[in-house]
Amino acid sequence: KAGVTQTPRYLIKTRGQQVTLSCSPISGHRSVSWYQQTPGQGLQFLFEYFSETQRNKGNFPGRFSGRQFSNSRSEMNVSTLELGDSALYLCASSPQTGRAEAFFGQGTRLTVV
């Protein structure tokens, strides 16, 4: 069974640009969650999608958005990038929301210069 695939693995962007990150969950998993990880801050929850609907949202500005497609693949978008957006962005897939094991991808390392 293939794991969670995130692309690209690394990105370098300039302040003010926008970026789109992609996540392909494990086959059959309908829940995809996104997290931002920075040193010392742990895993900051961005949002969760289940069956193409956003179920939960973390405390991030509107520049961070996401969507989920009918095949459960998900994308997150960050517009008007700021230096502070530099982080590891992790995607996790689960067969259902909450209570279920979350399987993480390797993440996308975003650097904003």
Partner 1 sequence: GENVEQHPSTLSVQEGDSAVIKCTYSDSASNYFPWYKQELGKGPQLIIDIRSNVGEKKDQRIAVTLNKTAKHFSLHITETQPEDSAVYFCAASTDDKIIFGKGTRLHILP
104 binds partner 1 (CB under 8 A): yes
Tokens of 58: 């973390």
> What one-letter code names the amino acid at 5?
T
User: Residue 105: is it exposed, middle or buried by C-beta count within 10 angstroms (0-12/13-18/19+)?
Assistant: buried
Q: Compute CA distances 27 → 20, 30, 70, 72, 106, whole Å.
A: 22, 8, 12, 9, 17
Closest CB 80 distance from partner 1, rounded Å: 27
Among 18, 27, 77, 106, which residue interacts with partner 1 (rule: CB under 8 A)?
Answer: 106
Closest CB 56 distance from partner 1, rounded Å: 5
Contact set for partner 1, span 46-85 (CB under 8 A)? 48, 55-56
Residues of this chain that interact with partner 1 (CB under 8 A) are 4, 33, 35, 40-43, 45, 48, 55-56, 90, 92, 97-107
